[in-house]
Every structure is written in C-alpha cells, then in structure tokens.
C-alpha cells in the first residue's frame, strides 16, 4: 500500500507545538499501522525561530510566514497552537478561508468567540476540531460529543484546571496557605508566572463553555457563566471542611433542569468518598451524569506538552479520516446553528452550604445566628463551635441542607450585619453529586 | 430542514434491545437537535413475541422474521442484541451481505470470532460498531480507538465485569464468603442464574481481547489470554490483603513491552489508594497508560439496560453519520488486516506477589519457607505470621518484590511439596500500576 501522506502545518512552536512535532515524528509509523493515516509535517510556523527547542524538525520547513501555509494547497490541516484571542481569531479565519481544517487547543478563543469561529468554518465548509481545548490528554470531547451523544446530559462536575487543583492539593495535603501553595506550584511548573486566568476561574469557565455547548447542543454565552476563583480561599476552611469529611475543589459545574441550564465555576466542598474529591495535584477529572449512561467519570492529565499533543494529534487523525468534518457538521452549536441555551439564574439553583462566621464569644450569639437562618427557612444539618482560646472571637461553622442560593445569600448578608459577627462570613457550597445508584 | 429519517432494525428484544427501543423513542428529538440525525425504528425482531416488555414500540413493526430486515432496502443499520455465538455469527454475515452496517454488544462473538466477522464486513464493504461490547455506558472504545489513537498504549488495567466486582465488593466490604456474596449478587440482579462465564473470567477475557485488538492494532487470538476467575477466591485472602492495604479485584490486564504483549485475566491485589481499587459494586473502570497522554482513567456502569443502550445508540448515530464506517475501515485488526500480536509468555511477565501458606507451627518452618524463596532469588518485602490459636497450623502471609512469574510458580510448587506446608499455597499477584507522575 502506498502511504498517501497527510500533510500538516503546526502553527505555534511553543510547548504544545513542540509536543505535536515530537509525537508526529516519533509515532508516525505506529499511527500508520493502527489507523492507516501517514502524517507528514510540512510547516512549523513561529515568530521566534531562534529559541532552542528540545526537538528537531525533520523534513518540514520551519519558518515564520503564515502566508506560506495559506498558499500551500497540499496542506489541508493546520494546528493552531499559538493561543491568545485577537490574532488567533484572525488566523483561524484565514486558515479556514484558505480551505484548511483547523485543529486547536485554544479554549479561550472557542469559549469567548466560538460563535464567530464556527460561523467562519460553516461559511468555508471546513471544520474546527478541539479535543485538546479541554482536559488535555483525556478524550472528553469525544466522550461527550460521540460516546454520550444519545443521552440527555443532566449535570457535569469538572476539575478542569490543573493549576488550581495543584494549589488546593498543596493547601489540603500539606497545610500550606494559599500564597505558599501558589509559589510552590509556580516553582514546580504547574502555575504560570502570571497565574491570574487560572486562579480566578476564567480558564475553567472557558472549558465549561466548550463542554456545555457540546453536551447540550446549545449556544452558550461565556458571559452567562458565574465565575469565582480560588484566590481568596482560606486554609482554615479547607481544614474545617476536612473535619467534616470534605475536600475543597474548584469545580466547573453545569446543571440542567426543566427550569434551564446553570453554569458556574466556584470553589466547592465535595464528600471525600467521591472520585472527584480524590483527584489531586495537576490532574483533571469530570463526572458526567446522563439519563441513560448514568454516572461516568474521566480522569487524567489536563495539561502539559505530551498529554495536550496526544489530543491534538488525535484530532489531526480524525480530520484526516474525514470524521472530524462530519462530527463538526452534525453538531448543533458548531457546524449547525443552535438555539441559545435557556439559562437559569444563579439564585434559583439550590445547594447545601458550609458557612463559617467569626462571632463574639457571648451567650445567645449562636442562637441569634441560627435564628437568622431559621427565619430564611434554612435547615441546619450540623454546627461546630469551638471554645475561644485567646481572643474574644470564636469560629462558628454551620452546614445546611439543600437551600435556594438566593435565600442563602440573603441570610449571609443579614448575618454579616449582626453586631456580634466579625468580618465577612465565608459561605461555600457543598456539591451534592447525584447518587451513583 | 426535512428530517431525513435513518431507519434502523433492532434484533433481539431482550434487556438491551428494550433499552435501545426506549432510548430511540424517548430521545429521538434530543438526538436530532444535537446531532441532526433522526432515528426511526423500522423493525424490532425477536423469536419471543409474547413476553411483556416495559416499552411499547411505536411506528416500527415487531416480528420474528430476520428475512424482512434483510429484504428492507431502506434499513441500512441493524443492531444485533441477541448475543450468543453460532446463530449470531450467521446473523452478522447475513446482515453484512445484505448491505447493513451492524452495531453490536456481542463481546463473545467479536472476541472469539472477530477475525471472521470483520473479514465479512470488509468483503461487503460494511462496518461493525461495538462501543457497547465493552464497559456498557463508558465510551472506552472511542477513547482508545479515537482519543488515544496517536499514542502507543503501554498497559491497560481494567475492571470490566460488574458481576465479579459486585461479588468481590460484597466479600471485601461486608465480609461475606464467596457463596453468599454470589447469591446476593444473583438476588440483586447483578449475577445470572448461571454465572459461570462471568465468575470464571471468560467475559472479562472477551472484553480484553476486543480492547487489546483496538489498542495495539494487532490481531489478538482469544486463546492467548491466560484466564483465571474469582470462583476460588477465599475471604481470608481478601482480609489479609486489606490488612496490607490492598483490595482484591478481577483485573483484565494488557501489558506491552519490547518482548511482546501479555494478556491476562486474574484476581489481583491493588493498593487501596489507586482509583481502580475504589471501584465498587457493579461498576467498571479501566486505567490506561499511554506514551503521550500518560495515565487516563474511565469509570461507569459496565452493564444494564440503559447504559448499554447508550452505547448502542451512540454507535447507531456514528454509523448514520458515516464515521463508524470510516473508523472501521481505518483501524488495523478491523477494516484492515493486521499482523498477529507478538505475545510474551506468562512466565516472562513480572509482578509482586502475595503468598499465603498454612504451615505447621514448629520452630524452623518459617526459615525453611523463606529459604525456598531465597533459592529462587525471590526477595521478600513483608512477612506476617500469626500465633496458632487452636490448631497446629498457622497462616503465613508473605509479600514479594518484583519477581518473574515463572520463578514464582516454581517456588510455589516447591513450597507445596514441603511436609510442613498444609494444602495448596495461595499465590495472588499484586498489580503495581505505573506511577501517575
């Protein structure tokens, strides 16, 4: 059999681009043996051609001229691994207009300007493949888009940002405070020098937008996601949570009910027994609840050179086989226009809550606090008050049964106004995952 | 847009067939919204038309005549959900010859006669889709065949039989002996009246054969899999294992080294911290280790009406989109002929081991036992001997470092011949999963 080469362009010779070059070169024979697709690197494009890379490009040309890719009629597939927003959007449109299918890991672009990019792909009858945009080496796009396609997805609970999970694991496991855990994550290479978009929850929200568009087949407006990061998580709450049997995780949460879809990124407690609670360090995982399949769970490395390259090259193979194009064309919100998702307001979601207050150590105060909750019809499932050791303030930790979020917010505001309550109360939802059974 | 109906036939109106009928009918609109595929049930075929089913077929005809399906030119996709071997093989060939693509959950058929079925599909230029054959609602066929396609798979450790896992969980969690745990599994509907093919490991081996063919792109001969079931697992060993920090699981294990592929189904201990060790009840899971993606883990319901239907209908959608056909055609060992896998003999595999002997409580016996292991160069990592309470025999539990299986076998045979050792020693491998890091 003659090897009909599939010629590809890699745009962005950074970490992921390097991984893709390495993988295509090292595994070409193996990929050919298993799938019949023979990949050949034609172009590797980057503005910085001087930096030393840990891999040598054999065969293809390394240059800084996107135009050469656009003009090369033999190249039908381009991997955009540059990242960023405005320039990347222009690049996607040019590549699509030039008749290339685009494979990308650019979650920010697809989450915030996906509508525009997908419309361009439709216009030029091309596709955008994006397995690498969420959870790196874990093929969750395939799982949701194909494996669970026949299901109605009811809820998704994801740990989709390795930086945050590494930091929270450092706080939870070794008792470091947030600043120290962040510094160690940076030293270990699991957090960027500027970690803002990771720790403030934006990156998780990007992934949630993409996963939700796919899972529900609806247009998802990134701005509809309520986002809270981990940057004000306190070690004390992680500790109290552990005493109560919980781990604190930054969750990307999609929850579909008859009233609509709720999309949130927030630090939440999870029962220690849940598979999600046990995801530690830089790993990612997602629990998906679907009407027929029930609970399925996916775990692995959500970032890094080779895990992300694994997803990029998988997509390149799928594009080469023609499958990515058909999937894209078939999927609502991608190759087909979709209705906007009906969103449910955050206030209408319900949850169990963990509440920590610092209160004056004085008779009647706890009763007053519980009274405020009672007035809002908030049922308390547990309460923990420690004797004051040195000061006049004591921590009070309260857990609730299922409560409307709007009611909880009102109660917290009222508690904050009590003269006996010091500083802002800390209120963290306890994620009650549907039962496995 | 006009809904171009994709007409399908469901053959076998048992548990899974009922689930497929239910799902196609209840989720048709939702599937259409998300994927643009409008499924229509044309035929539901079963030899037993009298039994009451919990679902009513609307639109399609229910009958017992496969010939009607073969003759219906409008039906391009048939789901074979009858199971079994000889009749099912004939049915597959007839359906393929009549120009139908076949979706199936029949693991036994694909594992034992896959070569023949896939050759028939090639001959008629059709495909066989089989997401439902392994791990029910967990889309592991897609994960391995597509998501990880660019990787070299190094090892797979799977819990792929829910019956065995339910029984072992009952023994481990509630301290039931094997017979009682089996009876309770039967009462709960998680074990068949005749559970032989589950508990003797055959069903796990079927799934391992399919997953390995896909993961390694090689012909896998079912007879090359070394199979041991759970039917002689003793509660005592589960208990000792727990003391040592292990859970006992029936593992389907594929392990590729330069010397070749080793495929085994066997009860093995796993460290309690591993995700696999925590899979309990009827759930399935698999840990896959790949060169680029690293460790990924997949978990969910491996059987049951709706989880299996979820996979069948996902495949039907993929066939309708044309993707299943392209995947099948591309994959070595399926739509393309493949070289047979180079197998590595079981003796050459290495493992840590747990060994339990019943020995005479007499000075020098333990030294004699350790001496036999020492002569075979087997390094002992731990040893546990309890004082005798009532009888003259005491249990001796020994754990080893990594040992060649052939050496261990020889040592066990020699130990069994010792006059001081009562009955057959119990020897159980301890699965040392590659590190996550």
Q: Are A405 and A348 in contact (CB under 8 A)?
A: yes
The number of residues making up chain B comes to 437
ipTM, 2 dp: 0.96
- B392 has pLDDT over 80: no
- A390 has pLDDT over 70: no
- Domain membership of residue B196 as a residue range: 142-301
Q: Are B307 and B300 in contact (CB under 8 A)?
A: yes
Distance in angstroms (rounded) separating the CA atoms of residues A30 and A8? 17
Contact A317 B148 (CB under 8 A): no
State residue B435's pLDDT score.
Answer: 82
- B387 has pLDDT over 80: no
State residue B384's pLDDT score.
Answer: 87
A153 and A85 share one domain = no
- A59 has pLDDT over 90: no
Distance in angstroms (rounded) separating the CA atoms of residues A103 and A296? 26
**Average pLDDT rounded to a whole number, residues A385-412:** 88
Distance in angstroms (rounded) separating the CA atoms of residues B352 and B332? 34
B193 and B282 share one domain = yes
Closest C-alpha to B149, from A137, A204, A219:
A137
Listed residues A133, A167, A194: the one ending a domain: A133
Answer yes or no: is B407 within a domain. Answer: yes
B92 and B25 share one domain = yes
Of A147, A292, A313, the CB nearest to B150: A313
* Phi, psi of A66, deg, nearest 5: -55, -30
State residue A361's pLDDT score.
Answer: 85
CATH of the domain at A118: 3.40.50.720
| Torsion angle, alpha carbons of B298, B304, B309, B314, to 10 | 0
Of A323, A332, A336, the CB nearest to B326: A323
What is the per-residue pLDDT across A258-271, written as a single tens digit (0 to 9) for each? 999 999 999 999 99
State residue A386's pLDDT score.
Answer: 77
- A1 has pLDDT over 60: no
pLDDT band at B254 (very low <50, low <70, confident <90, very high): very high
**Average pLDDT rounded to a whole number, residues B146-157:** 98
Kindly report the nearest CA distance between residue A148 and chain B, in angstroms: 6
Answer yes or no: is B159 within a domain. Answer: yes
Answer yes or no: is A334 within a domain. Answer: no
- A329 has pLDDT over 80: yes
Contact A332 B34 (CB under 8 A): yes
Q: Are A195 and A303 in contact (CB under 8 A)?
A: no
- A321 has pLDDT over 70: yes
Least confident stretch, A311-325, B304-318, B412-426: B412-426
B104, β-bridge pairs: B80
Kindly report the nearest CA distance between residue A376 and chain B, in angstroms: 38
Percent of residues, chain B, with pLDDT higher than 90 = 91
State residue B390's pLDDT score.
Answer: 63
Compare all CA atoms of chain A with the CA of B273 and give the residue at the minimum distance. A278
B152 and B253 share one domain = yes
- State the total domains in chain B: 3
pTM beyond 0.95, yes or no: yes
- B389 has pLDDT over 70: no
Listed residues A301, A335, A362: the one ending a domain: A301
Kindly report the nearest CA distance between residue A226 and chain B, in angstroms: 25
What is the per-residue pLDDT across A11-58, written as a single tens digit (0 to 9) for each? 999 999 999 999 999 999 999 999 999 999 999 999 999 999 999 999
A51 and A109 share one domain = yes
CATH of the domain at B226: 3.30.360.10
pLDDT band at B284 (very low <50, low <70, confident <90, very high): very high
Q: Does any CB of chain B come closer than 8 Å to the CB of residue A325?
A: no
**Average pLDDT rounded to a whole number, residues B326-331:** 97
State residue A388's pLDDT score.
Answer: 67
Selected residue with higher pLDDT from B385 and B322: B322
Mean pLDDT of all residues in chain A? Answer: 95
Answer yes or no: is B315 within a domain. Answer: no
Kindly name the residue from B207, B223, B259, B376 that is annotated as catalytic.
B207
A313 neighbourhood in chain B, CB within 8 Å? 149-150, 292
State residue A349's pLDDT score.
Answer: 85
State residue A2's pLDDT score.
Answer: 55
B279 and B404 share one domain = no
pLDDT band at A385 (very low <50, low <70, confident <90, very high): confident
Least confident stretch, A407-421, B292-306, B358-372: B358-372
A293 neighbourhood in chain B, CB within 8 Å? 136-138, 300-301, 306-307, 310-311
**Average pLDDT rounded to a whole number, residues A354-367:** 91
Contact B137 A318 (CB under 8 A): no
B47 and B91 share one domain = yes
Q: Does any CB of chain B come closer than 8 Å to the CB of residue A131?
A: yes
List Cα–Cα distances, B282 to A98, A287, B138, B208, in angstroms: 51, 17, 13, 18
State residue A191's pLDDT score.
Answer: 94
B178 and B68 share one domain = no
B105 and B49 share one domain = yes
What is the per-residue pLDDT across B197-249, written as a single tens digit (0 to 9) for each? 999 999 999 999 999 999 999 999 999 999 999 999 999 999 999 999 999 99
- B162 has pLDDT over 90: yes
Answer yes or no: is A322 within a domain. Answer: no
B176 and B213 share one domain = yes
Answer yes or no: is A335 within a domain. Answer: no
**Average pLDDT rounded to a whole number, residues B413-428:** 93
Pairs of CB atoms within 8 A across A/B: 225
Answer yes or no: is B320 within a domain. Answer: no
Listed residues B245, B279, B301: the one ending a domain: B301
B168 and B187 share one domain = yes
**Average pLDDT rounded to a whole number, residues A148-153:** 98
CATH of the domain at B366: 3.30.70.260
A191 and A276 share one domain = yes
State residue B432's pLDDT score.
Answer: 87
**Average pLDDT rounded to a whole number, residues A145-165:** 98
Closest C-alpha to A279, from A183, A169, A432, A132:
A169
3-state SS class at A55? coil
Distance in angstroms (rounded) separating the CA atoms of residues A119 and A111? 14
**Average pLDDT rounded to a whole number, residues A229-255:** 96
B217 neighbourhood in chain A, CB within 8 Å? 30, 33-35
State residue B391's pLDDT score.
Answer: 65
A142 neighbourhood in chain B, CB within 8 Å? 139, 142-143, 146-147
Run of H or E including B40: strand B38-45
Distance in angstroms (rounded) separating the CA atoms of residues B352 and B250? 16
Answer yes or no: is B188 within a domain. Answer: yes
Distance in angstroms (rounded) separating the CA atoms of residues B224 and B25? 42
Contact B147 A33 (CB under 8 A): no
Contact A148 B310 (CB under 8 A): yes
Q: Is A207 a catalytic residue?
A: yes
Q: Does any CB of chain B come closer than 8 Å to the CB of residue A283?
A: yes
Of A139, A300, A437, the CB nearest to B294: A300
């Amino acid at each position: 059999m003659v090897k009909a080469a599939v010629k590809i362009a890699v745009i962005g010779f950074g970490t992921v681009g390097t991984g893709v070059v390495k993988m295509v070169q090292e595994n070409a024979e193996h990929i050919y043996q298993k799938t019949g697709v023979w990949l050949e690197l034609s172009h590797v494009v980057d503005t910085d051609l001087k930096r030393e890379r840990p891999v040598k490009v054999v065969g293809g040309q390394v240059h800084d001229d996107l135009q050469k890719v656009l003009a090369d009629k033999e190249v039908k597939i381009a991997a955009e691994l540059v990242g960023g927003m405005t320039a990347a959007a222009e690049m996607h449109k040019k590549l699509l207009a030039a008749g290339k299918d685009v494979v990308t890991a650019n979650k920010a672009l697809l989450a915030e300007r996906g509508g525009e990019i997908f419309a361009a792909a439709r216009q030029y009858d091309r596709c955008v493949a994006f397995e690498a945009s969420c959870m790196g080496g874990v093929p969750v796009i395939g799982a949701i888009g194909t494996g669970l396609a026949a299901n109605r997805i009811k809820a998704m609970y994801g740990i989709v940002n390795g930086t945050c999970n590494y930091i929270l694991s450092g706080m939870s496991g070794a008792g470091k405070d947030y600043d120290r855990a962040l510094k160690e994550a940076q030293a270990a290479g699991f957090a960027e020098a500027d970690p803002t978009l990771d720790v403030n929850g934006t990156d998780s929200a990007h992934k949630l937008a993409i996963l939700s568009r796919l899972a529900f087949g609806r247009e998802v407006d990134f701005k509809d996601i309520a986002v809270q990061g981990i940057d004000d998580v306190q070690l004390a709450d992680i500790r109290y949570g552990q005493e109560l049997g919980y781990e604190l995780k930054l969750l990307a949460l999609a929850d579909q009910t008859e009233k609509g879809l709720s999309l949130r990124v927030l630090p939440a407690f999870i029962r220690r027994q849940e598979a999600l609670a046990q995801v530690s360090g830089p790993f990612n995982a997602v629990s998906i609840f679907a009407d027929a399949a029930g609970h399925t769970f996916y775990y692995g490395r959500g970032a890094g050179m080779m895990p992300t390259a694994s997803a990029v090259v998988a997509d390149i193979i799928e594009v080469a086989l023609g499958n990515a194009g058909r999937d894209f064309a078939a999927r609502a919100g991608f190759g087909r226009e979709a209705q906007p998702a009906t969103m449910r307001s955050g206030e209408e979601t319900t949850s169990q809550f963990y509440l920590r207050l610092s209160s004056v150590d004085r008779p009647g105060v706890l009763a007053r606090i519980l009274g405020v909750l009672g007035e809002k019809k908030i049922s308390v499932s547990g309460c923990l008050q420690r004797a004051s050791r040195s000061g006049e303030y004591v921590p009070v930790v309260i857990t609730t049964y299922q409560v409307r979020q709007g009611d909880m917010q009102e109660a917290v505001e009222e508690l904050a106004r009590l003269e006996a309550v010091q500083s802002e109360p800390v209120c963290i939802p306890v994620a009650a995952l549907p039962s496995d059974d």
